[in-house]
Amino acid sequence: MADLQTLVDFGPRVAGSAAEQATIAMIKERMESYGYDVVEQEFELPALMEGTVTIAGVTYDNTRIAGGPGGAITGTLVEAGLGKQGDFANAEGNIALIQRGDIPFQEKVDNAVAAGAAGVIIYNNAPGGVNFSVQSDVPVVGVSNEDGLGMLANAGQEAQLDIAVLATQSSSNVIATKLPADGSTDADIIHVSAHIDSVPGSPGANDNGSGTAAAIEIARVLQDADLDKEIRFSFVGAEEIGLLGSKFFVDSLTDEEVARSIANFNMDMVATAWEPATAMYTNTLDGQHNLVTTTANTVAEMLGTPSQLVLLERGASDHVNFHDAGIDAANFIRREPGTANLEPYYHTPNDTMEHISQERLGEAIDLIGGSVYYLARQQ
């Protein structure tokens, strides 16, 4: 609880912020003091950008820069429908104007780039602005329906995109490793992960101060344990803006390390005091049991864990990236049984210490820590 209070006191631990950096420093210091081999993995976040679109002498500055590089480009404004393949006649070297809808933003952008467009503007298909992020080699700008229709009336005219990079930011993962008692470097690896960042405006006590504090405590308790397997704690950044830290971490593993990786216990929102969240859900990507969930069920029975464990098919946290690498993975999260509802404080300023249950935090530590220990003691 003291560690959790420390995390909350840093303020919203937004990816790339000073509060996230303070969190990284605190965890590093702590893992080193417990005798772990600690590595900080820094990675780039998408740059903060702003920009304008100018067509026929009219400048639109209410834009969202959704992806791609900064800079200034000009070209003919070409109407490209919904951005499907075949919608891009004459787009080569020009600026494609696409309406939102039907297919994902990323697909529209990929089609535009494949057709040789030098820039992309996507306008909303309903009143108001549009908010999205894509990967792109060319600038991609989102605009409101109103602005988009104004631009559409000037298709065929010269258009200019001016995009400035305001700031580049980085985040980090902290990776803490403990080898088996015999020091071997070819043992199975058990991953314990928790995201350290939170959304803007939210103290992130439960999401995910709880999982972070639980992982710190499990690391403290296991520091001197004699284990037959390797354990790696990954405290990952930038989950809330697209699972970026865990993606960077999993991508950094060698094929040999992935092959040795047998399990990922991911903790995200494990200690809400919200009364109806009486169940501990184990979320897997396919909704099927795997080594993580079966181990947790075995250990819950051994410990007499008070809460019911419920298996659910669900992503939306860092276990996705472990799963995608072929590693048995599950996220542990408290929800209301039956409805699978989350607490109403989720992603709000009310995700505070006041709504944390010390008892449930302890239960998560016992269950996940016990499961890791149980698995790590099997030869």
User: Which partner, ligand BES, Zn ion, none, binds residue 162 by CB below 5 to 8 Å per kind?
Assistant: none
Give the residue from 369, 361, 282, 368 showing the smallest Cα distance to 329: 282
Q: Residue 208 CB, nearest distance to ligand BES (Å)?
A: 6
User: 171, 43 in Cβ contact below 8 A?
Assistant: yes
The helix/strand/coil state of 60 is strand
**Pairing status of strand 48-55 against strand 158-167:** antiparallel
Q: Is residue 232 involved in binding ligand BES (CB under 6 A)?
A: no
What token pair was written down for 130? Answer: 């549009």
Q: Is residue 314 involved in binding ligand BES (CB under 6 A)?
A: yes
User: Which partner, Zn ion, ligand BES, none, binds residue 333 by CB below 5 to 8 Å per kind?
Assistant: ligand BES
Quote the crossing angle between the two packed helices 211-222 and 358-376, to the nearest 10°: 50
What token pair was written down for 260? Answer: 């040795």
Query: Hey, which residues does 238 pair with through a beta bridge?
Result: none
Q: Residue 207 CB, nearest distance to Zn ion (Å)?
A: 4
Tell me the CA distances in angstroms from 129 to 50, 55, 62, 143, one per residue in order.
15, 18, 8, 6
Q: Is residue 56 involved in binding ligand BES (CB under 6 A)?
A: no
- Cα separation of 190 and 227, whole Å? 11
Q: Is residue 239 involved in binding ligand BES (CB under 6 A)?
A: yes
Q: Is residue 201 involved in binding ligand BES (CB under 6 A)?
A: no
Q: Is residue 207 involved in binding ligand BES (CB under 6 A)?
A: yes
Q: List contacts with Zn ion (CB under 5 A).
A: 207-208, 268
CB-wise, 38 or 244, nearer to ligand BES? 244
Amino acid at 260: R
- Cα separation of 187 and 227, whole Å? 10
Q: Is residue 240 involved in binding ligand BES (CB under 6 A)?
A: yes
User: 20, 128 in Cβ contact below 8 A?
Assistant: no
CB-wise, 108 or 334, nearer to Zn ion? 334
Give the residue from 184, 336, 199, 194 showing the smallest Cα distance to 274: 336
Q: Residue 154 CB, nearest distance to ligand BES (Å)?
A: 36
- Cα separation of 15 and 238, whole Å? 5
Among 242, 287, 326, 349, binds ligand BES (CB under 6 A): 242
Q: Is residue 136 involved in binding ligand BES (CB under 6 A)?
A: no
Q: Is residue 269 involved in binding ligand BES (CB under 6 A)?
A: yes
CB-wise, 20 or 230, nearer to Zn ion? 20
Residues that bind ligand BES (rule: CB under 6 A) add up to a total of 13
- Cα separation of 118 and 138, whole Å? 6
Q: Is residue 351 involved in binding ligand BES (CB under 6 A)?
A: no
Among 99, 144, 171, 283, binds ligand BES (CB under 6 A): 283
Q: Residue 230 CB, nearest distance to ligand BES (Å)?
A: 26
Among 3, 20, 147, 268, binds ligand BES (CB under 6 A): 268
Q: Residue 242 CB, nearest distance to ligand BES (Å)?
A: 5
Cβ count within 10 A of residue 362: 14
Among 124, 305, 317, 321, binds ligand BES (CB under 6 A): 317
Q: Is residue 331 involved in binding ligand BES (CB under 6 A)?
A: yes
Q: Residue 258 CB, nearest distance to ligand BES (Å)?
A: 22
Tell me the CA distances in angstroms from 298 to 39, 49, 269, one per residue in order.
32, 49, 22
What are the counts of helices (DSSP H) followed by strands (DSSP E) for the chain?
10, 16
**Rounded (5°) CA angle 223-253-238:** 80
Q: Which stretch binds ligand BES (CB under 6 A): 35-43, 247-255, 300-308, 311-319?
A: 311-319
Which residues make up the interface to ligand BES (CB under 6 A)?
Answer: 207, 239-240, 242-243, 268-269, 283, 314, 316-317, 331, 333
